[in-house]
Amino acid sequence: MPRVIGVDIPGKKRVEYALQYMYGVGPTRAKEVVAKLKIDPATKADDLTSEQIVALAKILQEDYRVEGDLRREVSGNIRRLIAVNCYRGIRHRRGLPVRGQRTSTNARTRKGPRKTVGAVRGKEARSVAKAGK
């Protein structure tokens, strides 16, 4: 398993797909990087030489924002939205969908599992209710 910028990329996969395991590298960017370095896209990640791995890391760090830098930037943007109290910031703070999706149904990814509203009665409460009748 080669390690690029602190991320283990799967060695059994082709280089262009293995690079996509890094945060901030998608299909297009992976193909661009492989083309810049003139690496055969069919090469497996395990077959990369140490020079190629160093060159990959260098290009990804210098030309693109990936991994830690990108995560820091995204979380900073969200913190800024929350701080200025804009609509999107409020949605982030409340853990609701930010981009206008409906919430009366769906939105379970953001809202989490359903929370039942209402009285959940145990055995004792039922027996007391029956005795009162």
The domains found in the chain, sorted by start residue, are: 1-133 (1.10.8.50)
pLDDT digits (tens, 9 = 90+) for 26-55: 999 999 999 999 999 899 999 989 999 999
State the pLDDT at residue 20: 93
3-state secondary structure (DSSP) of residue 31: helix
Element (H, E) at 3: strand 3-4
Query: Which letter, b or e, does each residue of 9-48 get, where b requires 16 or more Cβ atoms within 10 Å of its Cβ?
Result: beeeebbbebbbebebbeeebbeebbeeeebeeebebeeb
Alpha-carbon distance 52 to 89, whole Å?
A: 42
pLDDT attached to residue 97: 94
Indicate the DSSP class of residue 103: -
Split at pLDDT 50, 70, 90, the class of 129 is: low
User: Predicted confidence band at 94 (pLDDT cuts at 50, 70, 90)?
Assistant: very high
Q: What is the pTM of this model?
A: 0.72
Binned at pLDDT 50, 70 and 90, residue 124 comes out as confident
pLDDT over threshold 80, residue 61? yes
Residue 69, amino acid: D
pLDDT at 132 over 90: no
